[in-house]
Amino acid sequence: MAQQQRIGRRAAVRTAGGAVAAGAVLAAGMAAPTAGAQDSPGSLVGTWIITSTRAGSVPNGILVTVLPDGSFLRTGNTHPTESPAMGVWRQVEEGVYEVTYLALQFDPIGKFIGHRKAWLRIPLDPSGDSFTGRGRVVMLDPSGVESAPTESEIRGTRMLPEPFA
84-91 own/partner pairs: CB under 8 Å, 24+ apart: 84/13, 84/16, 84/20, 85/116, 85/118, 86/16, 86/19, 86/20, 87/118, 89/44, 91/44
pTM recorded for the entire structure: 0.74
- Digitized pLDDT (tens) for each residue of the chain, 165 residues in all: 445 445 555 555 454 454 444 444 334 333 333 333 344 557 999 999 999 887 666 678 899 999 999 999 999 888 789 999 999 999 999 999 999 999 999 999 999 999 999 999 999 999 999 999 999 999 999 999 999 999 999 999 999 999 998
d(CA 135, CA 93): 17
Q: What is the pLDDT of residue 123?
A: 98
**DSSP E strand stretches across 1-59:** 46-54
DSSP-assigned beta bridge partners for residue 93: 96
Closest CA to 120 of 105, 148, 101: 101
